[in-house]
């Protein structure tokens, strides 16, 4: 007996039998190292959790981290959130960029300091390598500031390219393995 849902390639994505998109589970990373960092992240989370097309399911604890790459700059606050969204990945990217702009993000240099940064890390099991959107995030497995909070909220989630769990990747990164 059918439940009326058709599963797409991504098991975290549900589509009604009539083709209407229901929701996809996505992971978004947030970081800030300019201004009132915690307030910037709180404001971004309020904007992200719009109650209509995006709902935050769970949020990691905030972590203070050292910058990776870029010019000399201050410490970051980082966290990750799992959201459920009816948006497509490009639409979620646009929503994240609108939030960044509304909170004063100015892109002056690669990996430069920022009031807020929102990155789509995972979007269901989608693998996308467009010019403007790469999912899974191409450097997420190299970054403790991503894997540690992600292992906190979704340790059993499987990386769609490697087939390994986030907990496994976090353990490998801590051990210095790749």
Give catalytic residues, as residue numbers. Answer: 105, 114, 117, 119
DSSP states along 74-111: PPEEEEEEEEEESS-HHHHHHHHHHHHHHTT----STT
| Token output for 172 | 């490998």
Distances (CA, A) of 106 to 60, 86, 102, 110: 26, 28, 10, 11
CA distance 66 to 110: 16
């Amino acid at each position: 007996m059918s439940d009326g849902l058709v599963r797409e390639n991504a098991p975290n994505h549900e589509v009604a039998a009539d083709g209407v998109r229901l929701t996809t589970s996505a992971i978004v990373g947030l970081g800030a190292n300019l201004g009132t960092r915690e307030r910037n992240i709180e404001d971004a989370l309020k904007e992200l959790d719009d109650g209509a097309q995006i709902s935050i399911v769970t949020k990691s604890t905030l972590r203070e981290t050292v910058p990776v790459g870029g010019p000399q700059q201050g410490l970051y606050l980082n966290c990750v959130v799992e959201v459920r969204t009816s948006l497509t990945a490009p639409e979620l990217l646009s929503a994240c960029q609108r939030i960044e702009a509304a909170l004063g993000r100015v892109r002056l240099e690669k990996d430069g300091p920022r009031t807020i940064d929102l990155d789509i890390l995972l979007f269901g099991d989608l693998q996308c390598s467009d010019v403007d959107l790469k999912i899974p995030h191409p450097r997420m497995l190299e970054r403790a500031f991503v894997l540690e909070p992600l292992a906190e909220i979704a340790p059993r989630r499987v990386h769609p390219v490697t087939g390994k769990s986030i907990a496994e990747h976090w353990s490998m990164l801590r051990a210095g393995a790749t």
